[in-house]
Structure 1
Amino acid sequence: MTEAGGMPQKILVIDDDFANRQVLQLVLKRNGYLGVFAEDGCEGLQLAKETKPDLVLLDFFMPGEDGFEILAQFKADPALRDIPVIIFTVLVREESERKALEMGAVAYVTKPFDIDQVITCIRRILP
């Protein structure tokens, strides 16, 4: 998928799992997106500031700060707060999903994730 200027839309994936990053890299590329990848929240926040992604896929369970803390930092930063964030996690609890959405996430996808579901979710958010 491309922006109006013809450049592919950029998606930042923040996930400490190497295999997830590899799969998402292939899937995003195959669907016309440019993937940018971070291994943890700190690196993800820095890359978001540098690359200005169109969307973020944020894992909730990583070393250091958890997804709630990283999401809060995204939403507190004026330069990042308007970037849509999709949470993807193994945590399947209604209260976690509700809290993430209340904090500003635009979607909540559980792992193991279905690639078609992830792409459908991205396409719904990035026309």
Structure 2
Amino acid sequence: MNKKILIVDDDPRNIFALKLTLKSRGYQIESCTMAQEAIQILKEQAIDIVLMDMMMPEMDGYEAIRMMRNTPSMSEIPVIAVTAQAMPEDRQKCIDAGAQDYVSKPIDVDQLMTAIEKFS
């Protein structure tokens, strides 16, 4: 079965590029530009993996992941943090917030696919 991936990023260009890349590899894609919207989608749909941009207005990725981890229906969904902040402590901050993996921007497609395939 095709995995369904939710892309959460406040930049539509990032969503567009990721959608093309992932659809070409057979994944089903949902996307949104706000963390609150992502939480709503996760309540309504079966999502297999979340790609979460960490730096977003209003609610950032860290807060969104913490909300997911504290919500039983979505606490087990793997989250791959996607962020332009690429220092080792940033990776640890993402993992501490509850992300299972971390990919820095600009996204290396091979690195992203490796991260996604861990949960496929």
TM-score, scaled relative to structure 2 = 0.94
Identity of aligned residues (%): 38
Say yes or no: does 1:83 pair with 2:77.
Answer: yes
1:33 equivalent in structure 2:
27
1:120 to partner: Cα distance: 1.8
1:103 to partner: Cα distance: 2.8
Q: Which amino acid aligns with 1:56?
A: V
2:119 equivalent in structure 1:
125
Among 57, 65, 68, the alignment partner of 1:63 is 57
User: Deviation per CA, 1:1-28, whole angstroms, max 9, x where unpaired?
Assistant: x2xxxxx210000001111111111111
Q: Which amino acid aligns with 1:116?
A: D
Q: Which amino acid aligns with 1:54?
A: D
Give the alignment's Cα RMSD to 1 decimal.
Answer: 1.1
Q: Which amino acid aligns with 1:97?
A: R
1:95 to partner: Cα distance: 2.2
Say yes or no: does 1:20 pair with 2:14.
Answer: yes
SS of aligned partner of 2:74: coil
Unpaired stretches in structure 1, ≥5 consecutive residues: 3-7
2:88 equivalent in structure 1:
94
Unpaired stretches in structure 2, ≥5 consecutive residues: none
1:54 equivalent in structure 2:
48
1:102 to partner: Cα distance: 2.4
SS of aligned partner of 1:32: coil
TM-score, scaled relative to structure 1 = 0.89
How many matched pairs?
Answer: 120
List 4+ stretches of structure 1 deviating above 6 A. Answer: none
